[in-house]
């Protein structure tokens, strides 16, 4: 009887600390020192609508939202202080039970808030740190929140994308990142690749209960020299860092995808060199040879590895 009771108690404790579903990327938070430029880019150029904003309790704008779909947003904070500062504020994933997830993470040694309460937007969330110091928000959309009240709204067909595929961060210790994202949060490997066949420079992991491809893309620099740019102030280095800390939006409507494929193929065909074109100098010959090499690489009409245009 004592053994049976012990097993029952262990099962009950496990059920209490089981991880609830993590179902997708919720948003990425970015910092800017030029809100007008951000609005032009995300709103005018990419076509995302700006359904609501949040103000600080002390007054003044805290952040604004650009809506990708009912469950995914780009959050922009007008708080970038100087050009050397990291423009990534945080990444966020959606869960179906934030309080159970808090208890689960606490049971697995992750530092979590002592208590949870609705935020200014009406949702319940918590912010934790990954092994590389990135802020990782976990959020549950609550009935009556800003987000829930606007389900089905602010989704123009002209927006460039209907989903965020992944958010990207840099990691210094892949084993530590695996323990956090895979062993604790339950993310699953999708694929990995590198700049050479012998290296792994990036890893894509999928959220555990997601139905699509949404997840996290981790860049794994092979040396301090590759990573030093993310703490430097030069424009070139900041650009390299920004490419690693990013979000990726999926293609939009099928019609637009077909049009894009058609344009890409037309662009490739425009590179086809004229086989009988007269070349009057060495520079012309070299230019024709370069065009031929590019065309062959894109179309697969040579021994050069094929680069897909679809």
- Domain boundaries, given as residue ranges, for the chain: 15-252, 256-299
Query: What pLDDT does 118 receive?
Result: 97
Query: What pLDDT does 259 receive?
Result: 54
What is the token pair recorded at 70? 């009912």
Q: Is the pLDDT of residue 1 over 90?
A: no
Q: Which of 264, 269, 257, 242 is nearest to 169 (CA)?
A: 242
What is the token pair recorded at 141? 């959309």
Distance CA 93, CA 270 (A): 43
Helix (H, G, I), strand (E, B) or coil at 61: strand
How would you label 110-130 residue by residue, b for 16+ Cβ within 10 Å and e otherwise? Answer: bebeeeeeeeebebbbbebeb
* Mean confidence (pLDDT) of the chain: 78
Global pTM reads 0.71
Domain 15-252 has CATH 3.10.180.10: yes
Q: Is the pLDDT of residue 183 over 70?
A: yes
Task: State the helix-helix crossing angle for 254-269 and 282-299, rounded to 10 degrees.
Answer: 150
Give the pLDDT confidence of 281-310 residue by residue, as tens digits.
455 555 555 555 555 555 555 444 444 434
Query: What pLDDT does 114 receive?
Result: 96
Give the pLDDT confidence of 43-84 residue by residue, as tens digits.
999 999 999 999 998 999 999 999 999 999 999 999 999 988
Distance CA 134, CA 26 (A): 16
Distance CA 283, CA 277 (A): 14
Query: What pLDDT does 181 receive?
Result: 96
Half-sphere exposure of 162 (CA within 13 A, CB side): 12
Question: In terms of C-beta density within 10 A (0-12 exposed, 13-18 middle, 19 or more buried), how is residue 82 classed?
Answer: exposed
Query: What pLDDT does 294 receive?
Result: 54
Q: What is the DSSP string of 188-215?
A: EEEEEE-SSTT---EEEEE-TT-SSS-E
H-assigned helices in 154-302: 174-178, 224-227, 235-244, 254-269, 282-299
Question: In terms of C-beta density within 10 A (0-12 exposed, 13-18 middle, 19 or more buried), how is residue 285 classed?
Answer: exposed
Query: What pLDDT does 267 receive?
Result: 55
Residue in the structure block whose two tokens are 């108690």: 9
Distance CA 144, CA 122 (A): 7
Between the ranges 19-33, 243-257, 295-309, where is the mean pLDDT highest?
A: 19-33
Distance CA 138, CA 171 (A): 19
Distance CA 41, CA 32 (A): 12
Q: Is the pLDDT of residue 264 over 90?
A: no
Q: What is the CA radius of gyration of the chain?
A: 24
pLDDT tier for residue 229 given thresholds of 50, 70 and 90: very low
Distance CA 50, CA 159 (A): 12
Looking at the DSSP assignment, which residues form a beta bridge with residue 206?
A: 188, 215
Distance CA 47, CA 67 (A): 10
H-assigned helices in the chain: 2-16, 35-39, 98-107, 146-149, 174-178, 224-227, 235-244, 254-269, 282-299
């Amino acid at each position: 009887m004592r053994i049976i009771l012990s097993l029952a108690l262990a099962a009950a404790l496990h059920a209490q600390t089981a991880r609830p579903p993590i179902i997708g990327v919720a948003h990425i938070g970015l910092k800017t020192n030029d809100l007008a430029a951000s609005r032009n880019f995300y709103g005018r150029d990419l076509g995302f609508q700006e359904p609501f904003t949040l103000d600080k309790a002390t007054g003044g704008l805290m952040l604004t939202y650009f809506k990708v779909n009912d469950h995914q947003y780009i959050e922009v904070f007008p708080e970038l202080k100087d050009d050397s500062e990291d423009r990534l504020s945080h990444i966020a994933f959606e869960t179906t039970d934030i309080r159970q997830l808090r208890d689960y993470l606490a049971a697995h040694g992750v530092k979590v808030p002592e208590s949870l309460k609705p935020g200014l937007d009406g949702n319940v969330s918590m912010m934790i740190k990954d092994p590389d110091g990135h802020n990782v928000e976990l959020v549950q959309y609550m009935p009556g929140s800003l987000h829930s009240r606007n389900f089905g709204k602010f989704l123009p067909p002209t927006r460039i994308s209907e989903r965020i595929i992944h958010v990207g961060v840099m990691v210094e210790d892949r084993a530590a990142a695996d323990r956090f994202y895979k062993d604790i949060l339950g993310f699953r490997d999708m694929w990995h690749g590198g700049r050479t066949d012998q290296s792994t420079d990036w890893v894509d992991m999928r959220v555990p209960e997601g139905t699509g491809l949404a997840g996290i893309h981790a860049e794994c620099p092979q040396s301090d020299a590759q990573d030093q740019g993310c703490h430097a102030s030069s424009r070139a280095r900041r650009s390299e860092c920004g490419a690693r800390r990013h979000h990726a939006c999926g293609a939009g409507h099928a019609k637009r995808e077909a049009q894009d494929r058609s344009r890409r193929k037309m662009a490739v065909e425009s590179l086809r060199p004229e086989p009988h074109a007269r070349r009057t100098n060495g520079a012309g010959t070299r230019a024709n040879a370069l065009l031929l090499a590019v065309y062959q690489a894109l179309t697969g009409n040579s021994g050069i590895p094929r680069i897909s245009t679809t």
